[in-house]
Amino acid sequence: MAPAFARSSDFAVDKPAGQPCRNLRDDFLCGIHEKLPERGFPGCVVFDCFGAGQRITQETFGGRDWRSAPEIAGDMFASLPVMRQLHELMWYLTEALKLDEARGLRRELDAALAETDRMAGRSAPELREIDVDAHRGRVNPLLRRASELARARVGGRRADHSGAQLIGRKMRGADLRGASFRGALLIGADLRDADLRRADFTGADLRGTDLRGANLTDVLFLTPSQRRAAVTGADHP
């Protein structure tokens, strides 16, 4: 409901921010969820609010929703993008805390997670005042350190593709253990049968990336939405 999107290969129609999607049912579920790509909405498949929508409704606004209480719609929609970014950071911090190699950072990671959660627990007006970019700037170096410690276990030279333009790149069967793909554009890249153990995919664009047969054991910071965006054995035999 809250986000805007423009008609493109990802969305079949234009939708202004705050305007209900034409496919939104009365129970707030998507009426075409099982057929989103076929109906021209692959962008919806890869969107992940990281639980921000539920928290906004249940905690920030005390269980109220914009249909039963339309007067809160503006505040709710303005708060959601902030909450989503905070919850995304919480997801990354939680993943970092699972890394044995980063146990020396546990106190700092725990503190960053607790602080981010406290920020997410603020009122709607307070949420809108949060400088998320500044907070992310404090958290990201910690996440990078955790990634470096985890990837160092691989040993040897590790490819650094951070922020790289790898659209359509052919890397089938490549040894990419411990590689960094942070912020890389991997749209349509061929990573079939590649060894991606302990590779870092923070913020990488994996739309149409072919991961069939790739070894994703212990891969770092690969979100569920990134997996859905990629081509995997589960959806392409």
169-227 pLDDT, tens digit per residue, is 999 999 999 999 999 999 999 999 999 999 999 999 999 999 999 999 999 999 999 99
Contact at 8 Å (CB) between 199 and 219?
A: yes
- CA 8-36-168 angle, to 5 degrees, is 55
Mind listing the pLDDT tens digit for each residue in 84-96? 999 999 999 999 9
Contact at 8 Å (CB) between 66 and 76?
A: yes
pLDDT value of position 1: 46
pLDDT greater than 80 at residue 8: no
**What does the block give as tokens for 93?**
């911090």
Contact at 8 Å (CB) between 154 and 217?
A: no
Sequence-ordered list of residues with C-beta below 8 angstroms from that of 9, at least 6 positions apart, any chain: 42
Judging by beta carbons within 10 Å of its beta carbon (0-12, 13-18, 19+), is residue 38 exposed, middle or buried?
Answer: exposed
Which residues pair with residue 30 across a beta bridge?
Answer: 24
pLDDT greater than 60 at residue 234: no
Mind listing the pLDDT tens digit for each residue in 124-171? 999 999 999 999 999 999 999 999 999 999 988 899 999 999 999 999
Integer-rounded Cα radius of gyration of the chain: 19
What are the domain boundaries of the chain?
46-152, 158-237
- CA 209-212-215 angle, to 5 degrees, is 100
Looking at the structure, give the CATH architecture of the domain made up of residues 158-237: 3 Solenoid (2.160)
